[in-house]
Amino acid sequence: MIVSPSLLSADFGNLNRDIEMINRSEAEMLHLDVMDGVFVPNISFGFPVMKCIQKVSKKPLDVHLMIVEPQKFVNEVKDCGAHLMNVHYEACTHLNRVIQQIKAAGMKAGVTLNPATPVCMLRDILPDLDLVLLMSVNPGFGGQQFIHGTIKKVKELKELINETWSGAIIEVDGGVNLETGIQLRDAGADVLVAGNYIFKSPNPTEAIHLLHEL
């Protein structure tokens, strides 16, 4: 299983220490949650902080933009060293154009779905995507409870990916722990994002290892 720890649950007073821990771990990516207080009811961090993270992180940056009008910031996200840029389906009026802009900037393109958005909305864009991020909580905060209907959505998305000959992989974000992780693996998820499960664990490196082993 590919593991992408969410830095939102890290100790922001000790970011270097926490990013070094991830560098030494089996995590394949580092998940960065950007929030604007408009698309979601919370504000996290932005480009100046991400530029500092880029200097310390040895893992590819998996950037999850929970902001309105993400198409305005494709170049800024690229300049922060993002490997993957995730935009919300619900935030993009011209999703196809945004995806082409992300790819033209040299990043992998991902689309994120809120819990209430059905996977069928992605049918026509799926062949153009590298990744689909399914939210298993309502975005905005770490430490929320997993929404169980996500398991069925992962299965549906897997079928749709096969049907449309898409090469997209499936990432799930919110309330992921060992228990929900096993169910997500069985349903067909490829990447697990985890914040609280990793950073609130007495041994975060081991928590990453356990998810990775699923």
Contacts with ligand DX5 in 111-170 (CB under 6 A)? 137, 139-144
- 196 residue type, one letter: N
Q: Which of 62, 128, 130, 173 is catalytic?
A: 173
Q: Least distance (Å) from ligand DX5 to the CB of residue 4?
A: 9
Q: Which is nearer to ligand DX5, 60 or 143 (CB)?
A: 143
Q: Which of 11, 18, 33, 79 is catalytic?
A: 33
29 touching ligand DX5, by CB under 6 A: no
Q: Which is nearer to ligand DX5, 110 or 140 (CB)?
A: 140
119/183 Cα distance (integer angstroms) = 18
Q: Which is nearer to ligand DX5, 164 or 214 (CB)?
A: 214
Q: Least distance (Å) from Zn ion to the CB of residue 1?
A: 17
**In the complex, which residue's CB is closest to ligand DX5?**
195
Q: Is 33 a catalytic residue?
A: yes
Polymer length in residues for the chain? 214
Q: Which two structure tokens, joined as six digits, stand for 67?
A: 């902001």
Q: Which two structure tokens, joined as six digits, stand for 203?
A: 């041994």
Contacts with ligand DX5 in 182-201 (CB under 6 A)? 193-197
Residue 113, judged by CB atoms within 10 A of its CB (0-12, 13-18, 19+), counts as: buried
Does the CA dihedral 14-140-92-88 come out positive or negative?
Answer: positive
182/46 Cα distance (integer angstroms) = 32
Cα–Cα nearest to 108, from 155, 168, 41: 168
Cα–Cα nearest to 22, from 60, 51, 49, 63: 60
* Residues taking part in catalysis: 33, 173
Q: Which spans of this chain sit near ligand DX5 (rule: CB under 6 A)? A: 6, 8-9, 31, 33, 64, 137, 139-144, 173-176, 193-197
